[in-house]
Structure formats: C-alpha cells, structure tokens
Amino acid sequence: MKRLLIVYTSTTGGTEQMVRAAAEAARAEAGVDVRLQRAADTHAADVLAADGYLFATPENLATMAGLMKDFFDRVYYDALDHVNGRPYATLICAGSDGTGAARQIARIATGLRLREVAPPTIVCTHAQTREAILAPKTIAEADLRRCAEIGAALAAGLAAGVF
C-alpha cells in the first residue's frame, strides 16, 4: 500500500480546512494510506516512510509559517538522498498572494530532489488588517474543492504507480 503524508500547520484554521478537504478526497482512493499530521508532530521517519507528500502552510509575512520551516529543518538532512523523485504538491493559505511561501517550499523540495506534480494551490483570504489576519478563517467551498482535487490526484497517482 502506498502512503501519502500530508504535513501542515494552521494558525487561524484556514490551512486546516484545506488539508482536511484534501485528506478526505485522498482517502477515497483505494490502495493509499493517508497520514494527516501537524508539522510539529512529524519526524524524519514519517517522511522516509511515505511515498508522496502534500505540504500545507499559511503564509506569514510573505513566507511559510515558522512551524513548517521548523519541520523542514528537522527532517531535511535525514531525508536527503532518501526521497529522490517522490511526488509532492503544496497548499498555501495566504492573506495576499502566497508566492513567497510557495517559492520557499519549492526550493526546499528541489534540494530534497522531490518532484512537483502540481503547481501550488494558493487560497487567498485577502486578510490585510491585524484583525482580519488574526481572525478564524472560513475557506470557500470552491477553494476546498480545489484542495480536494489535489489530494485526490496525488492519491490516484500513487495508487496507479504514475508517481
């Protein structure tokens, strides 16, 4: 059985809604074990045991969230040269454009020699004031469907041996 590891962090709930939609759709695919784990609770052994990855983070100050960066810092050297060619995709919950966070994850994934199988899915909440940024988020159904499509596609690709 193939394993899809979904690693995320969420501060105001937006990213968590996104990964739950992706995980639910991925779990509908037979032959794939889907692991949904918070970044702070994910270790190198989890990364090494997976066949594919979905990384999800809020955008904070035009970068990935600190807990997601911490995850990559902790697992990078143990995973280096052991995950070459494995597929990944990215979900970003952004207040503005999300491209800074997506770019950071892509650079790290390139270093790990992972293979991007879909462009980053960026959901923009347009939160620009202190109050809006700190407020709990509600992700629109259309955006949750986009996240579900990524989860389903990753799982289907793993199950079919495409990735």
Q: What is the pLDDT of residue 42?
A: 98
CATH number of the domain bearing residue 88: 3.40.50.360
Identity of the amino acid at 38 = R
CA 102/CA 51 separation, integer angstroms: 21
What digits encode the pLDDT tens for the residues 55-101? 999 999 999 999 999 999 999 999 999 999 999 999 999 998 999 99
Q: What is the pLDDT of residue 6?
A: 98
CA 147/CA 151 separation, integer angstroms: 6
Identity of the amino acid at 80 = L
Q: What is the pLDDT of residue 67?
A: 98
The two three-digit tokens of residue 149, written as one number: 């499509």
- The alpha helices in the chain, defined as continuous H runs, are 14-27, 44-49, 66-79, 99-111, 130-134, 141-160
Q: What is the pLDDT of residue 34?
A: 98
Count of the separate structural domains present in the chain: 1
- 3-class DSSP assignment, residue 39: helix
Q: pTM of the full predicted structure?
A: 0.97
**How is residue 84 annotated by DSSP?**
T
In the Cβ-directed half-sphere of 103, how many Cα atoms lie within 13 Å?
6
What digits encode the pLDDT tens for the residues 23-59? 999 999 999 999 999 999 999 999 999 999 999 999 9
Q: What is the pLDDT of residue 56?
A: 98
- The domain in which residue 55 lies consists of 2-160
Contact by Cβ (8 Å): 64, 57:
yes
